[in-house]
Each structure stands twice: as C-alpha cells, then as structure tokens.
Amino acid sequence: MDTEKIVLDYVNSKSKISGKSKNEQLNYDYLSSGSIDSMQMVEMIEFLESKFKIRFNSEDFKLNKFRSVGGLIEIIKKHLQDKN
Amino acid sequence: MKGRILGIDHIGLSGLNIFKNTPFFNTFQYEKVFSESNLRIFDEIKPFLSTEITSHDAMFLKNKNGISIEMVDYHKNNLSQGRYNVIIEWSSELFPEKFTSDDEIVKSLNGKLGNIKKSKIPQSNIPFYFLKGTNHGITSIVLEVTNMEKSLSLWQEIFNFEIESGGNQHFNSLVLSSPISNWNLKLILIENNKLQKSEAYLDSFGWNCISLITTDIESEIKSLKERSDIECGLPYFFEIGGKKYKLLFIKGFDAEIIELIQPTEP
C-alpha cells in the first residue's frame, strides 16, 4: 500500500495542493489554513484509520508533525510498523 | 472500538441577546460564524431544560486561538447559574474599573495561573475571569466540583483528559490536546465543599455547557451507561450553519452539562 500517495490524494481532494511541488505538498500545514472544520477533521481521521487499519492516539495529536502532510505520513508509517 | 474526543467545539452561553451582546465578544476578536433564529427544540434536549421552551436562537462566535462560543437565546431563563466559568486572556487590561478580586475562584486561581480578576459581561450578571497574557480569547474553563476524585474519574476515564502536574486534592488542571489550536482545552477543577448541590440547565444563566467533538457517539454512550452517576440523554441529529451533527447531552454529578458532537455527512 502506497501510504504517501493515499495521504497526498486525500489531502489534495480537500485542499487542492496538487499544483505545488512535492516538497511543498509534504510540508503543507493543512490545519493552519483555517479551512478545515470539525467535520473534515473527523472525516480525515476516520478515512485514514479505516484505510490503514490503525488508530491515532492523543500523543499523535500533540505532535507538531501531525499538522503537515509529510509528518502525518510519518505517523501513519510508524503505526503500521508497530502493528507488524 | 471506543470513540475519541478530538477537542472542544465550543462553550455554550445563555441569558444574553445574541445580537445586542455580540460587541463585547468582538472586543476579544470573536467573530460571528453564523446565527440562526427560531431553531426547533428537539425532544432529546427537553430533559436538560428547566421548563417548556419551544424554540431558540443561536449565534456561533469564533476566535483564532480561543475556545469558540455558542450564544443561545431561549427568550426566558431559569434563575440558576450555569456550572462553568471561563478565563478570557488578553494582552492588555480591559475594563479595569469593573474588576473584583473578592471571589473564591479568584482566590483559588491566583498564584497558580497569574493575576486573575473577575468581571461581568456588560448589561448582564454573567461573570467571566480575566487574565492578562499573551494568548487571546477564552483559554481555560473552570468548574467547581464537590468531589475531586469523582470528577477526575469522569474527565480522565470517559473524556480522556490528561492531568497536569502540580495538582492536589482541591485543585487540578486537566488538558485535552487537539491538533487544532482552538480545540485545545484546559479545564481547571476546584473542589468546593461549600458548593450548593443545586440543579443547572441549558437555560440557566451563563456558561452552561461544553461541547466536545467525538468520532463516535454510540461508543461513548456505551462507556457512559456503565456509570450510574451520570445522566445520559438520547442521541439525535441536528443541522445548523449548513452542517449536520449527531448530538448527545450528558449531565455530570455536579449538574455540569456536557454535549458530545459528532460531525456527520450532510
């Protein structure tokens, strides 16, 4: 499963970041724009948890890297590693 | 799988006219997101109201970093006071002539958080606490409780708050961390043995309800039903501001009202 592609595709479907360079996309702070509301946040968490069969914990939410696309990918990969 | 509390959506405030009292909150950079009038009172809300009410008006106010506010006007209020208190943080002292410091909450907080002062929302008897600081908006919520141990078990075990160091049997600071800054909540519990064990309702004056965002209300209900000290209402669907939510009201043993809110598909 291509974790990076799935996360990038999902964020792009909400925030239209596909025009940016790969590096810009990975560093994109999808929370700071103020455009994400409670519904989108819950949707995103549910989508990622169900897609990767993982569960984010409260420690994940505290991490600064949870805010960036690249950081989110790292967190998901860590959960996938811990699972195996 | 148990649901998760992602953060605080807002604190509910009742007893004010939603249009006349907005300028006070604009002072603290709260801006209107939406307002709606003549909203229906669902049957599931009625056990949390003191009397028959047929409709209400609501206005949602948001501040970039502080906790959002939902002002609700039921057009008549119960004389009881809402259970919560808020601390508004601001970088300069506003309305200094209106501050009082002779107050039990002020006494409990001073020295722990900084120089806290009490004031009232203009043209009302609804209190708020002021702290001069670098953050802007409502940054903390204070709840007086009759039994610290019981309260901690509710907020920690059911709602996943984490306790901060430095607390004691009579004072504890809890945090709910969220990836979104204005969903973070610092909840300060102060044990007050003299607290009158009286009722509080959604139509009580003041800060009467906190609304927490969850990913799964049904699984929260399962956890809540295992506790006999909590009054758990029935879930229902509600549409406001163009969005649809699943909602549930709960009343803790100090009559504090907690709303769980799960965003759902439109």
CA-based nearest residue in chain A for residue B266: A39
The residues, ordered by sequence, that sit 6+ positions from B261 with a Cβ below 8 Å of its Cβ are A38, B9, B211, B212, B213, B214, B245, B246, B247
Chain B residues with CB-CB distance to A43 below 8 A:
263
Contact A42/B215, CB-based, under 8 Å?
Answer: yes
How do residues A30-80 score in pLDDT, each as one tens digit?
777 555 677 788 888 888 999 999 988 878 887 888 888 999 999 999 999
- Beta-bridge mates of residue A29: A68
> What's the half-sphere exposure (Cβ side, CA atoms, 13 Å) at A22?
2
- Work out the mean pLDDT of chain B and round it to a whole number: 89
* pLDDT score for B30: 94
| Domain CATH for A39 | 1.10.1200.10
Mark which residues 39-58 of A lie under 8 Å from B by CB: 39, 41-43, 45-46, 55-56, 58
The model's pLDDT over A5-34, given as tens digits with 9 standing for 90+, comes to 999 888 888 777 777 888 888 888 877 755
- Tell me which of A36, A43, A61 to substitute to probe the interface with B (most B C-beta atoms closer than 10 Å): A61
At B197, the pLDDT band (50, 70, 90 cuts) reads low
Q: How many CB pairs under 8 A join A and B?
A: 43
Q: Render pLDDT for B118-136 as a digit per residue (tens, 0 to 9).
A: 988 988 889 999 998 888 8
| pTM as predicted | 0.88
Residue B1, pLDDT above cutoff 60: no
B265 burial type by CB count under 10 A (0-12 exposed, 13-18 middle, 19+ buried): exposed
Whether A41 and B1 lie within 8 Å, measured CB to CB: no
- Most A CBs within 10 Å: which of B1, B2, B5, B6, as the mutation test of the A interface? B6
Which chain A residues are Cβ-neighbours of B215 within 8 angstroms? 42, 45-46
Q: What is the pLDDT of residues B224-259, one digit of tens each?
A: 888 878 899 999 998 877 788 999 999 998 999 999
CB neighbour list of residue B235: distance below 8 Å, 6 or more residues apart: B44, B217, B218, B221, B246, B247, B248
Best CA proximity match to A7, nearest among A71, A83, A82, A84: A71
| Domain count within chain A | 1
Complex prediction ipTM: 0.71
pLDDT at B35: 93
Mean pLDDT, residues B34-60: 94
Q: Do B180 and A31 touch (CB under 8 A)?
A: yes
pLDDT band at B2, cuts 50/70/90? low
More confident residue, B144 or A59: B144
Please give, rounded to a whole number of angstroms, the shortest distance from the CA of B50 to a CA of chain A: 30
Percentage of residues in chain B with pLDDT exceeding 90?
A: 52
Chain B residues with CB under 8 Å of a chain A CB are: 1, 4, 6, 9, 64, 160, 162, 177-180, 183, 213, 215, 243, 261-264
| Residue whose token pair is 């990076």 | A4
Domain that holds residue A29: 3-83
Banded model confidence at residue B76, pLDDT cuts 50, 70, 90: confident
- Mind telling me how many Å the CA of B7 is from chain A's nearest CA? 9
| Per-residue pLDDT, A17 | 74
pLDDT > 70 in chain B, percent? 94
- pLDDT, residue B174, reads 95
- pLDDT reported for residue B191: 94
CB-nearest to A62 from B1, B160, B177 is B177
Domains assigned to chain B: 5-263 (3.10.180.10)
Confidence band for B4, pLDDT divided at 50, 70 and 90 = confident
The pLDDT of residue B198 is 72
CA distances to B79, B126, B162 from B117, in Å? 24, 14, 26
Name which of A37, A39, A75 to mutate to probe chain B: the one with the most chain B Cβ atoms within 10 A of its Cβ: A39
